[in-house]
Amino acid sequence: MMIEPVSQSGVEMPLQRYNLNAFTKGWFVGNFTPTLISTDAVEVAVKHYRAGEAEAAHFHKVATELTLVVSGRVRMSGEEVGPGEIIKMEPGQATDFVPLTDVTTVVVKVPCVRGDKYICGDAQP
- Write the pLDDT tens digit of every residue in 13-22: 899 999 999 9
Q: Which residues of 31-45 are buried (b: 16+ CB within 10 A; e: fewer)?
A: beeebeeeeeebbbb
pLDDT per position as a tens digit, 51-98: 989 999 999 999 999 999 999 999 999 999 999 999 999 999 999 999
**Upper half-sphere CA count for residue 60 (Cβ side, 13 Å):** 19
CB 118 within 8 A of CB 65: no
Write down the domain spans for the chain: 42-113
d(CA 4, CA 21): 35
Of the CATH numbers 2.60.120.380, 2.60.120.10, 3.30.390.30, 3.40.50.300, which one belongs to the domain with range 42-113? 2.60.120.10
pTM recorded for the entire structure:
0.86
The residues with which 97 forms a beta bridge, in sequence order, are 55
pLDDT at 125 over 50: no
Question: What is the predicted pLDDT for the residue at 3?
Answer: 55
Bridge partners for 24 per DSSP: none
